[in-house]
Structure 1
Amino acid sequence: MPLRLLLVSDTHVPKRARELPAQVWDAVESADVVFHAGDWVNPELLDRFEQRSRQLVAVYGNNDGPEIRRRLPERQYVVLEGVRFAVVHETGPAKGRNERAEALFPESDVLVFGHSHIPWDATSPGALRLLNPGSPTDRRRQPFCTYMTATVDGGILGHVQLEVVRKQ
């Protein structure tokens, strides 16, 4: 049975949105593992993710204050079904990102990151998969707010899907 993954970042509650969309909460509750790549802003949102997630793999972002930084690391690593994941908030500019990330995370198969609010799905020359789910609450220059879902089964990262947040 494949593991169902949810990838989310840059929730910015309550600064960019008063609440996380119900669609995203439904995805949190149906996922086996939830990744959050930082910029929570509110510690209560972290509490709610911890309560509602089966397994949470999370880091702090540049907009997170001392309480969140006390509770979460800057980088997080986890192995799921043989796939080695790393999570970090920032990876720097888009130019050179794939090669830079490959050098910074040489022992990882997948890097989940955030910060830009711009979805990213790319593979580095050395086969590191880089995934940025965008933001479910602040689309910035994007047409929609987004997050990602994926699966892991038998040591393989399965179908990665960019999900669009529907208007509530």
Structure 2
Amino acid sequence: MATRLLLLADTHVPKRARDLPAEVWRAVDEADVVVHAGDWVDVRLLDDLEARARRLVACWGNNDHGVLRERLPEVARTEVEGVRLGVVHETGQAKGREERMAAAYADLDVLVFGHSHIPWDTTAATGLRLLNPGSPTDRRRQPHCTYMTAVAQRGALQDVTLHRLPPRA
């Protein structure tokens, strides 16, 4: 069986946008598992995603406080179709990231992270795949707001796709 994943981070709702873009909400509806790597900012989006997503795997970020930190872990871990998946907000500087995260998360196959708003897809020498979907609401210095989708099947992550959102009107 194949499980469709939607990877999000750094939504910053309502600080950077009033809501997620319509394309992202459609992706939520299509996904079997929604993964959010922190920086929600407001608990309303967590409530909305919990109500709408079939399954939500998420952590808090450095801009999340109060109820968000009470309801979400700093690091979330799960298994999806035999893929050992972790979700954390911060991984430190880009230089040496693969080695640091491979040592810290030796029990995982995939680590989804956020914080930088910069899309990232690399694999450490140990085989740990590191994915940052960027941000669907705050592109910062990136050319586009982004999110990722992927498929977990038979112990492997496949079809990892970075989606670029059109500029907001």
- Shorter-chain TM-score bucket reads over 0.9
Q: Aligned residues, how many?
A: 168
Query: Which letter maps to 2:41?
Result: V
Query: Which letter maps to 2:31?
Result: A
CA distance in 2, matches of 1:18, 1:145: 15
1:58 aligns with 58
Residue-by-residue CA offset, 1:88-134 (whole Å, 9 max, x unaligned): 00000000001000011000000000000000000001110000000
Q: Secondary structure at the match of 2:87?
A: strand
In the alignment, does 2:46 pair up with 1:43? no
Query: Which letter maps to 1:34?
Result: V
In the alignment, does 2:143 pair up with 1:143? yes
The answer to whether the 8 A contact 2:144-2:167 is kept is no
In the alignment, does 2:71 pair up with 1:77? no
- Report deviation, 1:166: 2.3
CA distance in 2, matches of 1:79, 1:105: 14
Q: Describe how 1:1-168 pairs up with structure 2 within 5 A.
A: 1-167=1-167
CA distance in 1, matches of 2:154, 2:86: 18
* TM-score where L is the length of structure 2: 0.98
* TM-score where L is the length of structure 1: 0.98
CA distance in 1, matches of 2:104, 2:166: 35
CA distance in 2, matches of 1:141, 1:44: 27
Query: Which letter maps to 1:135?
Result: S
Structure 2 spans left out of the alignment, 5+ residues: none
- Report deviation, 1:19: 1.3
Runs of 4+ with >4 A deviation: none
- Report deviation, 1:167: 3.6
CA distance in 2, matches of 1:91, 1:55: 24
CA distance in 2, matches of 1:6, 1:166: 18
RMSD across aligned C-alpha pairs, in angstroms? 0.8
- Report deviation, 1:71: 0.3
- Report deviation, 1:2: 1.2
